[in-house]
Structure 1
Amino acid sequence: MSAEERLRVGRRTVVVTRPDKVLLPADGITKSDLADYYRLAADAMVPQLRPEGIEGQSFMRKDVPDHFPDWFHRVELPKADGTVTYAVGDEPAALVYLAGQACITPHRFVSRADRPHHPGRMVFDLDPADDDFGASARQP
């Protein structure tokens, strides 16, 4: 198992640690596979993650860890008992970096960072009650 993989994404080099780590065992999908997918899908994904927030680009993730690289954009927003620092994934390298953090399902914020209490988008997260989408889809 290799300790890390260095991927060139645009003008950035993203390090994926433990690229051989299996994230989805049933399919054998590794962190490296996810990073490759995000890199290939970035042209379609990044525009969907930009709700015209901070300087027109944003993708929110709660509580950015201190180890995220300096180039990874962040925004701090209030919450009930303090603040949350969100990640702003505004470029393909950010998606690849998130894959390296084993972020399998990035959830986009539904409002702009400068107007957090005024959502501009509605998202339906249609998770089945169990692991079988087929059975859930057949329910009346």
Structure 2
Amino acid sequence: MARASVDPAEVRAAVVAVSQWLRDEGVGAPARGELAAAVRGTVRALAASAPGHSVEVRVPPFVAVQCVAGPRHTRGTPPNVVETDPRTWLLLATGLLDFEAAVASGAVSASGSRAGEVAHWLPITRLDQSG
């Protein structure tokens, strides 16, 4: 199955729509649709930038993709998995949180010898002071 193309402008707009919440959790969570668009867009952008099947990135309940070149995984639990919640993922995707720090704190579960390679493609899109 071919991967859907990712429009960088749409991904950026989706991230900007939730950026206030990313900077200050106290403002209240965005609408589910806005959050889903930002998470799906950034995870799919990662998969487009790092094509492959050796690492599975999961951000429940919105998306899971395989990425990073290497051996293809086809059955059962993948050997290399990165999993986190939507807000943590978006903090990583925007450069507001460091991958290694997130793993060390337990905010990100990274299992397998290749899971950490995802950090090479982060951030997906940076938030500047205005966006």
TM class, shorter-chain normalised? under 0.3
More helix per residue: 2
Q: What's the TM-score once normalised by structure 1's chain length?
A: 0.26
Structure with greater proportional strand content = 1
